[in-house]
């Protein structure tokens, strides 16, 4: 898998100062945890998941979660499991018969219902373990987390290639303020003991919101909902500090194909018109029509807060999310300068617009370099709009 692998070599040379690198499910953990990008959720009852993948319908897809929990009804578990096994079998057969290039397979995860379900399901899909990266653990907290990780250790003892896990923080124990800090502290200690297989910490903002009867509208970001914003802040405080530096992924965006709006668009005309003219105007119009300007703002806020990647529920969001994680040339050169500088003082940016402090900015710089390896670095004059334009032409 490689981000933006739908772009021809000439296009890569035009758009990128440093191109994205190839990633496989056997890449090291510190690479995989950054590489998920826009993680698409699909219910396990969906019939054509295997066809979608084998036919490479969404070449920009980098990670996929097949959901056996909230995305299906409680009465559909057996049907969903049978369909999941069929999907995995068909993908496996397509790879083995050279009908599907394994390098195009997105990083694949399964969302289970609870720890008992993990044990029972793992036995049913054991034949296909080599195409599955890991599991998503919903409703993960200080209590359920112990059961989940005990079950994962049992499952992993039987396998040569171990499964990763991604906990979703979305329960009362975390959102209710009087319980939050104690529970986050306990979860942090639990994750430290199992960090070898921890890939991402995910934020379940939909479940958090439901506990207060809230749902953010298409005109606002999750950071505009004060209760959720405060909780996200505490989650980041625990899991992105220097001694527990995990990757935290952004909350799901729920909207698509909706042209009703209340607020003015958030996107500047010049950003789209400067390089692409009429094509840029059309891209901007479509983003605004579908209220994706609020999604763009949310991704930018995610990024500024140290979040990497995002859960999405519609393929139209994938390119948008991933393109906004490409590093600018200015960021990249600043980061390289900070890392390569032997002094501990302050130096002027090559762009003559800021001061780079070596010690305070070092961790930021290393994160930028890691992002640049996964998502690439734009050439001067190119940005996420350029990538959206290229994708439209395919």
Percentage of the chain surpassing pLDDT 90? 78
207 close to 179: Cβ distance less than 8 angstroms: no
Element (H, E) at 108: strand 107-111
The mean of the pLDDT values for the chain is 93
pLDDT (average), residues 302-319: 95
Domain ranges of the chain: 1-21+327-394, 28-255+291-326, 263-288
pLDDT (average), residues 291-295: 90
Token pair for 289: 């029509």
* pLDDT tens, residue by residue, 133-188: 999 999 999 999 999 999 999 999 988 889 999 999 999 999 999 999 999 999 99
pLDDT of residue 348: 80
* pLDDT tens, residue by residue, 91-124: 999 999 999 998 899 999 999 999 999 999 999 9
The Cα 74–Cα 71 span in angstroms is: 10
* pLDDT tens, residue by residue, 62-87: 999 999 998 998 899 999 999 999 99
110 close to 68: Cβ distance less than 8 angstroms: yes
Domain made up of 28-255+291-326: CATH architecture: Alpha-Beta Barrel (3.20)
* pLDDT tens, residue by residue, 7-43: 999 999 999 999 999 999 999 999 999 999 999 999 9
Cα atoms in the 13 Å half-sphere on the side-chain side of 325: 33
67 close to 312: Cβ distance less than 8 angstroms: no
pLDDT of residue 259: 64
* pLDDT tens, residue by residue, 232-243: 999 999 999 988
Sign of CA dihedral 372, 374, 380, 385: negative
The 3-state secondary structure of 144-177, one letter per residue: HHHHHHHHHHHHHHCCCCCCEEEEEECCHHHHCH
168 close to 137: Cβ distance less than 8 angstroms: yes
* pLDDT tens, residue by residue, 237-290: 999 998 888 999 999 998 877 667 777 888 888 888 877 888 889 999 888 888
Distances (CA, A) of 326 to 146, 330, 366: 36, 12, 15
| pLDDT band at residue 308 under the 50/70/90 scheme | very high
> 0.85 cut: is pTM over it?
yes
Residue 392 has pLDDT above 80, yes or no: no
pLDDT (average), residues 301-328: 96
176 close to 227: Cβ distance less than 8 angstroms: no
Token pair for 192: 């430290």
Element (H, E) at 337: helix 329-340
């Amino acid at each position: 898998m490689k981000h933006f692998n739908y772009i021809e070599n000439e296009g890569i040379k035009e758009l990128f100062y440093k191109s994205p690198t190839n990633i496989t499910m056997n890449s090291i953990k510190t690479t995989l945890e950054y590489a998920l990008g826009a993680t698409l959720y699909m219910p396990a009852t969906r019939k054509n998941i295997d066809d979608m993948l084998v036919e490479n319908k969404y070449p920009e897809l980098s990670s996929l979660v097949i959901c056996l929990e909230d995305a299906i009804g409680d009465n559909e578990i057996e049907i969903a499991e049978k369909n999941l096994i069929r999907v995995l079998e068909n993908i496996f057969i397509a790879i083995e018969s050279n009908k599907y290039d394994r390098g195009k397979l997105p990083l694949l995860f399964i969302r289970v219902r609870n720890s008992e379900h993990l044990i029972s399901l793992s036995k049913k899909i054991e034949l296909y373990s080599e195409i599955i990266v890991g599991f998503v653990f919903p409703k993960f907290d200080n209590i359920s987390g112990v059961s989940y990780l005990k079950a994962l250790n049992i499952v992993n003892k039987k396998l040569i290639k171990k499964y990763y896990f991604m906990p979703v923080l979305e329960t009362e124990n975390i959102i209710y303020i009087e319980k939050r800090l104690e529970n986050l502290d306990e979860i942090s200690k639990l994750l430290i003991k199992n960090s070898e297989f921890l890939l991402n910490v995910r934020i379940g903002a939909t479940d958090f919101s439901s506990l207060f009867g809230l749902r953010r509208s298409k005109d606002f970001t999750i950071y505009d909902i004060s209760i959720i914003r405060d909780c996200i802040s505490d989650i980041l405080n625990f899991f992105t500090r220097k001694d527990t530096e995990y990757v935290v992924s952004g909350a799901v965006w729920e909207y698509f194909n909706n042209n009703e709006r209340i607020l003015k668009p958030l996107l500047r005309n010049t950003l789209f018109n400067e390089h692409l003219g009429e094509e840029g105007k059309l891209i901007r119009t479509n983003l605004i029509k579908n209220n994706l300007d609020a999604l763009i703002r949310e991704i930018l806020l995610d990024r500024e807060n140290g979040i990497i990647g995002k859960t999405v529920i519609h393929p139209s969001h994938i390119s948008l999310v991933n393109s906004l994680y490409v590093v600018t040339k200015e960021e990249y050169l600043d980061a390289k300068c900070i890392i390569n500088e032997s002094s501990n003082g302050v130096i002027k940016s090559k762009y003559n617009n800021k001061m780079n402090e070596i010690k305070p900015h070092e961790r930021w710089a290393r994160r930028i370099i890691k992002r640049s390896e996964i998502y690439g670095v734009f050439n001067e004059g190119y940005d996420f709009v350029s990538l959206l334009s290229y994708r439209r032409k395919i």
